[in-house]
Amino acid sequence: MKVLITAPSLDENANVSGISTLARQIIKGGAADFYHFRAGKKDGEKTGGKWLLQQILLVPRFLQTIRREGIDIVHLNTALVPLSIGRDFALASAARIAGQPILLHLHGGRFLMNEFESRSLAALAEKMFRLASVIVVLSEHEKESLESRWRNLDVRILPNAVALTEIPPIERALKEEKTIVFLGRLHESKGLHEIIEACRVLKNEGFNFQFKCFGAGALKDFFVGEMSRILGDKFYFGGIVAGAEKWRQLASCDIFLLPSRYGEGLPMAMLEAMAAKCVVVASDVASVRAVIKDGENGFTVEPYNAAQVVEKLKFLLSEKAHWESLQRQARATVEEKFAFEDYIVKLQSLYAEISSLEKKQ
């Protein structure tokens, strides 16, 4: 079976993307013959004339790839944000023109859990959904959100997963000075302002901790500048981190902080941090709430609520937290529910089902 899978650049050293991380794992671990079709900007890529020309040529190149490679299924990864909806509706339309079944895989976006602000954009999203053979979401919460707004969609649940076999052995020793880490896209939706405010309060109240940041994005200079001003040499920015170095850095940290405001699906970085036995503090949004049980395997906060972030971090930085239990439960959650070996079997089964259904029609 030949599968054309869309994702941004798969270069882990040049792109911060959970979709790319998952696509790399699928291509590496799946039994099908995969062809990657790049759809989405690289970090820092300018949207000038060259970029616009590439977007105009995207659909013809997509159709050409389908026909040249003899593709059997199109695996279309998307997020419910305006640019992605417009682009991926065009790609889905092209796939249908070529007679290909479509697995439409949703990865967060502002309108995954929230109502559309534009009727025309909502209509375009629905047209994209109707073109898909199957729509894949990451949790029951996401499934309910879609089905409450659109009827008669074939929505399946397939949570993101971590390739545990790729993680080097991690030995942890409890340290007096804890390290907080943020790993991801430096965008306001990730709760960067809440992180800044929480660190300012903790620093002013005399809490001792380090903070490491890895990633890229539009707010990099702002975030790095503010955090450096507040924490001084207790703040470290490492840019984009990948491979063995990513796991080494996660293993050196204690708390993974992701107080997202909106737009999350099921963050790959969060699952990876849990696999590395970091204790997560994340917003109770979208599929995060299907993973984190507050006080058991991590902690949740309300979006836009810096005071709650401060409260949870104070608890973890005090002597009250049961660190060994929290770390053990974080890792166990990933092993039991989010292991890639189970994920790829379920995905291959979906491919086979879609292919069989389309042949009968």
| Whether pTM exceeds 0.85 | yes
Can you tell me the mean pLDDT for 65-69? 94
Can you tell me the mean pLDDT for 43-67? 76
Can you tell me the mean pLDDT for 236-255? 93
CB atoms within 10 A of CB 275: 23
Per-residue model confidence (pLDDT) at position 165: 87
The model's confidence at residue 66, banded by pLDDT at 50, 70 and 90, is very high
Residue 3's Cβ-side half-sphere holds a number of Cα atoms within 13 Å equal to 26
Per-residue model confidence (pLDDT) at position 359: 58
* Coil, helix or strand at residue 306: helix
Can you tell me the mean pLDDT for 104-109? 96
The model's confidence at residue 143, banded by pLDDT at 50, 70 and 90, is very high
Lowest mean pLDDT among 52-61, 163-172, 291-300: 52-61
Lowest mean pLDDT among 172-176, 251-255, 304-308, 340-344: 172-176
Q: Domain segments of the chain: what residues?
A: 2-161+339-360, 164-337
Per-residue model confidence (pLDDT) at position 47: 61
Per-residue model confidence (pLDDT) at position 182: 98
Can you tell me the mean pLDDT for 2-23? 87
Task: Check whether 51 has a pLDDT greater than 70.
Answer: no
Model confidence pLDDT, tens digit, residues 321-357:
899 999 999 999 999 999 999 999 999 999 999 988 7
CA distance 332 to 335: 5
For residue 3 the two structure tokens come to 């599968």
CA distance 334 to 332: 5
For the segment(s) 2-161+339-360, the CATH number from 3.40.50.300, 3.40.50.460, 3.40.50.2000, 3.20.20.70 is: 3.40.50.2000
Q: Which of 304, 309, 308, 303 is nearest to 288 (CA)?
A: 303
Model confidence pLDDT, tens digit, residues 306-329:
999 999 999 999 877 899 999 999
More confident site: 169 or 269: 269
Residue 58's Cβ-side half-sphere holds a number of Cα atoms within 13 Å equal to 24
Task: Check whether 56 has a pLDDT greater than 80.
Answer: no
For residue 24 the two structure tokens come to 């790399």
Give the CATH H-level superfamily of domain 164-337.
Answer: Glycogen Phosphorylase B; (3.40.50.2000)
Per-residue model confidence (pLDDT) at position 168: 83
Can you tell me the mean pLDDT for 87-114? 95
Can you tell me the mean pLDDT for 8-28? 86
Residue 209's Cβ-side half-sphere holds a number of Cα atoms within 13 Å equal to 29
Can you tell me the mean pLDDT for 277-285? 96
Lowest mean pLDDT among 92-101, 171-180, 261-270: 171-180
Are 348 and 30 in contact by the 8 Å Cβ rule? The answer is yes
More confident site: 40 or 280: 280
